Amino acid sequence: QVRLVESEGGSVQAGGSLTLSCANALSTTKTYYMGWFRQAPGKEREYVALYLGASGTQYADSVKGRFNISQDNTKRTAYLQMNNLQPEDTAMYFCATDHNPSLLFAVATGRAPPDTLAAWGRGSQVTVSS
């Protein structure tokens, strides 16, 4: 019921902006909630932003005020708008989804294994140069 297709990433200079998208390519009657995670070389994967529906959105402290996550359920697509990008934002960005927003939050906070989510995207490389 879920197959995530991510947009291509990109390369920008510090201070620039980039928007990633993540779409569920399969039709489904369930509502899925999406989040973004990222992994930089030599570092562990970390959560970036979550769209939790009625529970709102969550952001990692490192991106608060700069990134914005939104979701269009009619298009089964989530967006991550990234502003004022910095070199430390350079990473592979992965979207992930589940129909249970609590599980998505649990994975983001390390209380549940990543593979418990319904699906992960293949990743989009974001490179920010100084």
At residue 117 the predicted structure's pLDDT band, cuts being 50, 70 and 90, is very high
Six-digit token string for 62: 């490192």
Radius of gyration over every alpha carbon of the chain, rounded to an integer in angstroms: 14
Answer for the pair 26, 95: CB distance below 8 angstroms, yes or no.
Answer: no
3-state DSSP call for residue 48? strand
Model confidence pLDDT, tens digit, residues 44-66: 999 999 999 989 999 999 999 99
12 C-beta neighbours (distance < 10 Å), count: 17
Alpha helix ranges (H) inside 3-124: 101-108
pLDDT at position 31, please? 86
pLDDT at position 78, please? 96
DSSP state of 118: S
* Strand-pair category, 18-24 with 4-6: antiparallel
Answer for the pair 98, 117: CB distance below 8 angstroms, yes or no.
Answer: yes
1 has pLDDT over 90: no
DSSP state of 92: E
pLDDT at position 27, please? 79
Average pLDDT over the chain reads 95
Model confidence pLDDT, tens digit, residues 27-46: 788 889 999 999 999 999 99
